[in-house]
Amino acid sequence: MKLVWDRLWPELRVYKRRLLLILFIGALTSGLKALTPELTRQLEGAWSRGDHRLAYLIPLIIAGVWILASIGRFFHLYWMKYISDLISVNLRRQLMNKYLGLNLSFYQSFITGSGGLISRMLNDIHIIQDGSNKVADLLREPFLALFAFAYLVYIDWKLTLFVLIAMPIITSILRKLAISLRKYGHQNQEAMEDLTKTLKESLDGTRIVQSFNLEGEMRRRFEKEAAKYLASRKKIIAREQAGGPVSESLAAFTLALILIYIGIQIFAGHLGVGDFLGFAFAIGLLQDSIKKLQDGYIKIQQTSVALDRMYKILEDRRVVPQSPLAHSFPDNWKSIEFRNVSFAFDQEPILQNINLRIQRGEVVALVGPSGGGKSTLVNLLSRFFDPSEGQILIDDVPLSEIDLKELRDHVALVSQDVFLFSDTVERNIHAGNFSKDPALIPQAARLANAHQFIERSPEGYQTRVGEMGSNFSGGEKQRLSIARALFKDAPILILDEATSALDSESEQEVQKGLDSLLQGRTAFVVAHRLSTITKADRILVLKKGQIVEEGKHQDLLSQQGEYFRFHQLQAGL
């Protein structure tokens, strides 16, 4: 309970004035309800004495008290639920900001992938929201329980002992239920993650699923994970509902003892029927209050599991650190240097002791077998990762000391896996630099060899590209990404196998756009097809994380080493 409060309170503290108002309204509502047992006792007395005025007046007072209590309860729950919504949105905002700041190693190692992260954003925070709503009961019901208990003591302290007998038993049962709920709550939320992951993969990979007749396999996966989810939900529901029958059974047994005792006291003339009515009404209020507190306690345990899972992400340190004294990107810079750079992922070395200097305006191509470290090297330049050892410098300024936003403003990326937002063509190109005049977008599209097919589209630049650019072909999507990079107009360019997935005709069209993009820029070209890099100023051959060859196209061919072997393989010789 303390852990939940420690993590939930910082979110609640922002609204402490409203919470104080909620607390006041809750106390007032509980106080009004607590008047009912005494009013009931007074009503029985009026009936017994034949007091017609009070017999008519007290029922109206009872009705007024309950109307006022219901109005108070409305505002009490209204504000608490609205605060819960504010908290859930804020938590989702925190998670979104964290997702955007985490480096690629986090995403590569997160087992359930983006589906699991979506589940934590939606399902886990929904559980936290439900738990936050129960704070209203936890703020209101203790007052009602206290007022009802005080009235019981006022009527007959001996009777109250019967009520107290059941309390330790109920508390012990609730504690055991809470421990069990935490265990099964964790399993349940993991099962929901798996369900969300399978659903997302089914939607994202629809073409592959249908092409390979994998519908049955995806259904089986979904059914298996749904069964796992339902099994854990079954255990949770059983434990959520078990508290009710236990406490009600104890209450029924206690009430039977109370009725026997009251009967004895009434026969002896020590208690009246009015005392019994007031006592019975107070017992009802106390029992209802305890049940709501019990439900709130159970919900808070599930909230605790969701908070644990959320904070594991919020406290994850795999972010790209921003220096507190970050420098601006150097003006009139002359070179980029990789100095003794090594990088390992999960203890596995990817790059080893890379030493490299690139002059401004130079086009450097990276070739080599898969897994050689080509993409990792250019990912380090954009600080998607930081080196495990060594430094990357722009002139003499380490990349880690340059403002991250400014660094990425100076680097444009065109990758093999084109990502387009589900928006218009214009917005996708404008995303290169939203601070620039959108009137310049057609100019970038022309340079990217994209203007003609955009104009032929149903609504021109206002045509929606569809999810992941599904309304356009692979070559067209690639040209849109080139237009976006051209519009950004960054001095450093990364082409990460930008044409490897295209057919020859599409590649020729895309290459025209790339030729425009390369002009006057410092470029790193990760290439699979050697025909696209013959004009590079320098070619680096990477193998097992090391630069094994370096030079121009003809020079490397004449050495008859690794590059020559790749060339022969692609030429079919």
Same domain, 354 and 428: yes
The values of phi and psi at residue 18, to 5°, are: -65, -35
How confident is the model at residue 502, as a pLDDT? Answer: 58
Same domain, 419 and 455: yes
How confident is the model at residue 506, as a pLDDT? Answer: 63
Considering the domain boundaries, does residue 344 fall inside one? Answer: yes
Quick one: angle between helices 215-267 and 157-204, nearest 10? 170
Q: How confident is the model at residue 424 (pLDDT cuts 50, 70, 90)?
A: very high
Closest C-alpha among 348, 399, 401 to residue 378 = 399
Domain count along the chain: 2
Considering the domain boundaries, does residue 29 fall inside one? Answer: yes
How confident is the model at residue 454, as a pLDDT? Answer: 92
Q: How confident is the model at residue 389 (pLDDT cuts 50, 70, 90)?
A: very high
Range of the domain at 115: 8-314
Considering the domain boundaries, does residue 320 fall inside one? Answer: no
Q: Which long-range contacts (CB under 8 A, 24 or more apart) does 342-349 make?
A: 342/387, 342/388, 342/389, 342/390, 342/545, 343/373, 343/376, 343/380, 343/385, 343/387, 343/388, 343/389, 343/545, 344/388, 345/105, 345/108, 346/109, 349/545
Query: Domain of 494: which CATH number?
Result: 3.40.50.300
DSSP string, 482-518: HHHHHHHT-SEEEEESTTTTS-HHHHHHHHHHHHHHH
Residue range 561-572: mean pLDDT, rounded: 80
Considering the domain boundaries, does residue 325 fall inside one? Answer: no
pLDDT exceeds 60 at position 568: yes
Rounded to the nearest 10 degrees, how much is the dihedral formed by the CA atoms of 521, 522, 524, 530?
A: 60
Cα 289 to Cα 37: distance, rounded to the nearest angstrom: 15
Q: Tokens 């009503």, residue?
A: 43
Domain boundary among 264, 280, 314: 314
Give me the chain's average pLDDT, please. 83
Same domain, 116 and 158: yes
Least confident of 35-44, 261-270, 393-402, 448-457: 261-270
Same domain, 504 and 449: yes
Considering the domain boundaries, does residue 284 fall inside one? Answer: yes
Residue range 282-295: mean pLDDT, rounded: 78
Same domain, 273 and 414: no
Q: How confident is the model at residue 381 (pLDDT cuts 50, 70, 90)?
A: very high
Same domain, 149 and 198: yes
Question: Which of the 8 DSSP states describes residue 464?
Answer: B
Same domain, 522 and 567: yes
Same domain, 275 and 384: no
Considering the domain boundaries, does residue 330 fall inside one? Answer: no
Same domain, 219 and 357: no
Same domain, 460 and 380: yes
Whether the CA torsion 377, 379, 380, 385 is positive or negative: it is negative
Q: How confident is the model at residue 180 (pLDDT cuts 50, 70, 90)?
A: confident
The reported pTM is: 0.76
The larger pLDDT score, comparing residue 226 to residue 499, is at: 226
Query: Domain of 114: which CATH number?
Result: 1.20.1560.10
Considering the domain boundaries, does residue 65 fall inside one? Answer: yes
Cα 509 to Cα 506: distance, rounded to the nearest angstrom: 5
The larger pLDDT score, comparing residue 251 to residue 237, is at: 237
% of the chain with per-residue pLDDT over 70? 91
How confident is the model at residue 357, as a pLDDT? Answer: 93
The larger pLDDT score, comparing residue 400 to residue 175, is at: 400
The values of phi and psi at residue 522, to 5°, are: -85, 120
Q: How far is CA 334 from the centre of its chain?
A: 41
Same domain, 461 and 506: yes
Considering the domain boundaries, does residue 532 fall inside one? Answer: yes
Q: How confident is the model at residue 174 (pLDDT cuts 50, 70, 90)?
A: low
Domain boundary among 281, 314, 347: 314
- Cβ pair 413, 382 in contact under 8 A: yes
Residue range 339-349: mean pLDDT, rounded: 88
How confident is the model at residue 238, as a pLDDT? Answer: 80
How confident is the model at residue 211, as a pLDDT? Answer: 67
